[in-house]
């Protein structure tokens, strides 16, 4: 009976740990830059919370101050609603004048406008990866 209880508790712990997992953002050499949890919490490489991607498109810092907005149409805005750029459905990232800054590929590879790999953001929405690599300051 103790063994069955131990197995059940272990399975519950594994399930909870899996749901709290975060996706890694790495540089081109696969060094960890940050983690993004499925709820949009952004953590640095030491797991300290540095910001949030909110469901309504707001991007916030760790003190919940709004840094900008990621609109559903791909527009990226600062906290004063000025357009910083655009993330197209194909992963192309553009500045406010529609000049290409880079690309977020479907496999998670992030490239600059010369197609050089600058990082990796596997299983992270392209808008979040674009903000992290091209628009955060």
pLDDT digit string (tens) for the chain, length 137 residues: 444 334 434 444 433 344 357 899 999 999 999 999 999 999 999 999 999 999 999 999 999 999 999 999 999 999 999 999 999 999 999 999 999 999 999 999 999 999 999 999 999 999 999 999 999 98
Q: What is the CA angle 19-123-107, rounded to 5?
A: 155
Cβ contact 102:118 at 8 Å: yes
Q: pLDDT tens, 31-67? A: 999 999 999 999 999 999 999 999 999 999 999 999 9
The confidence score (pLDDT) of residue 20 equals 53
Cβ contact 35:23 at 8 Å: yes
Q: Where are the domains of the chain?
A: 22-135
Q: Tell me the CATH number of domain 22-135, given options 2.60.220.30, 3.40.50.1360, 2.40.160.200, 1.10.1740.10.
A: 2.40.160.200
Q: What is the pTM of this model?
A: 0.82
């Amino acid at each position: 009976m103790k063994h069955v209880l131990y197995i059940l508790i272990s399975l519950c712990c594994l399930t909870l740990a899996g749901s709290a997992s975060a996706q890694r953002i790495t540089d081109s050499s696969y060094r960890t830059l940050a983690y993004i949890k499925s709820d949009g919490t952004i953590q640095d490489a030491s797991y300290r919370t540095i910001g949030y991607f909110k469901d309504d498109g707001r991007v916030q810092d760790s003190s919940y101050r709004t840094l900008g907005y990621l609109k559903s149409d791909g527009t990226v805005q600062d906290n004063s609603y000025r357009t910083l750029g655009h993330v197209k459905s194909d992963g192309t990232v553009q500045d406010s004048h529609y000049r290409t800054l880079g690309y977020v590929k479907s496999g998670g590879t992030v490239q600059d406008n010369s197609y050089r790999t600058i990082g990796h953001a596997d299983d992270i929405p392209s808008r979040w990866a674009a903000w992290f690599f091209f628009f955060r300051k």
